[in-house]
Amino acid sequence: MAAPHDCAELERKIQDLQQQLIQAQKMSTVGSLASSMTHEFNNILTTVINYAKLGLRHKDAATREKAFDKILAAGQRAAKITTGMLSFSRRGNDTREALDLVALVQEVLVLVAKDLQMHRVRLQTHFEAEPVVAEINAGQVQQVLLNLIINARQAMEAGGQMTIQVRRNTEAGVGEISVRDAGHGIPPETLRKIFDPHFTTKTPDAQGQGGTGLGLSLAREVIEAHHGRIRVESTVGQGTTFTLKLPLVGVATTSRAEPAEKLVKKA
Ligand SMILES: Nc1ncnc2c1ncn2[C@@H]1O[C@H](COP(=O)(O)OP(=O)(O)OP(=O)(O)O)[C@@H](O)[C@H]1O
Ligand SMILES: [Mg+2]
């Protein structure tokens, strides 16, 4: 039998390995987005260079002001992408806070918009007008979402439509984020395995970029640690929908004893 200090050491090692797996899956995501981000930065630089040239050529105040506006907007867009990517790549902490799921999804979309466009994926979004607040670790849920979106895009080799929805399901007391693709779908015998660690059907591409097969197993772990659920529906040849259900802040689902307004904490 292991001595107590051995147990503590083993636990530390397991935690460390877990962190390494999370990091490996993140890097797989970063790898999938690298090419589209390089393109996007190239476009931003082209905008900056062209408007700087315009401003130098034309001395009038109105043209120069317009040029500065365009350069500023392009710079701010680039900063938004790098900040998002850096905070995603960093090793996160374990703290949770009450956050709007719509805002979280919108932040993730900044990172993938170009990637979807390059792969001829049309994105349709349906967002609840009011904030949908859940107590979450933003970094972890962001990683889950990026994996779902990249999985969905990879399932549509020839492009197609992706639909992302955020809605409040007050009856069930959950906020729901769903990612639907019109891709190749998942056959039933595969569907049973997709949440298994290291299960992947993706083979390395020309850049050696394959899947780690960790995306969905980590997703399930993250969502269940948040007392949420992850659901999948898939039809071969038609597409797949993944839905995350996260408990809404302050909404009691088991107790009906108190009037609802007393149970709603200020978000
Ligand atoms: N939207 C989807 N459509 C079709 N198959 C999917 C979809 N999402 C996941 N899968 C299947 O589930 C498997 C496991 O997905 P998971 O995200 O865990 O790993 P991965 O995508 O292969 O690797 P990584 O996430 O590291 O890139 C995929 O290899 C694929 O076969
Ligand atoms: Mg994946």
Tens-digit pLDDT profile for residues 89-120: 776 778 899 999 999 999 999 999 999 999 99
**Whether residue 240 is found in the same domain as residue 119:** yes
Same domain, 51 and 137: no
Residues 51, 144: one domain? Answer: no
Nearest CA to ligand 1 atom 23: 211
Provide the pLDDT confidence category of residue 264 given band limits of 50, 70 and 90: very low
Q: Which residues line ligand 1 (CB under 6 A)?
A: 25, 28, 147, 151-152, 155, 181, 183, 186, 194, 199-202, 211-217, 240
| Across 3-20, average pLDDT | 85
Confidence of residue 3 (pLDDT cuts 50, 70, 90): low
CA neighbor of 209 nearest in space, from 33, 23, 17: 33
116/187 same-domain check: yes
Classify 186 in phi/psi space as left (phi over 0), alpha (psi -120 to 50) or beta.
beta
Determine the average pLDDT of the residues in 75-98: 86
* Residue 205 confidence (pLDDT) above 80: no
- In this structure, are 85 and 114 located in the same domain? no
CA-CA-CA-CA torsion sign (154, 156, 162, 165): negative
- Ligand 2: distance of its center to the CA of 59 in Å? 51
Task: Out of 144, 151, 184, give the residue to mutate to test ligand 1, the one with the largest number of ligand atoms within 8 Å of its CB.
Answer: 151
Per-residue pLDDT at 262 exceeds 60: no
pTM, 2 dp: 0.85
d(CA 166, CA 90): 26
Band of the pLDDT at 265, cuts 50, 70, 90? very low
Residue 81 lies in a domain: yes
Report how far ligand 1's centroid is from the alpha carbon of 134 (Å).
26
Q: Which pLDDT value is given to residue 259?
A: 41
Range of the domain at 228: 97-247
Average pLDDT rounded to a whole number, residues 169-180: 96
Separation of alpha carbons 13 and 30, rounded Å: 25
Instruction: Note whether 22 and 116 are same-domain residues.
Output: no
- For ligand 1, atom 24, which residue shows the shortest CA distance? 211
How many domains is the chain built from?
2
Whether the per-residue pLDDT at 177 is higher than 90: the answer is yes
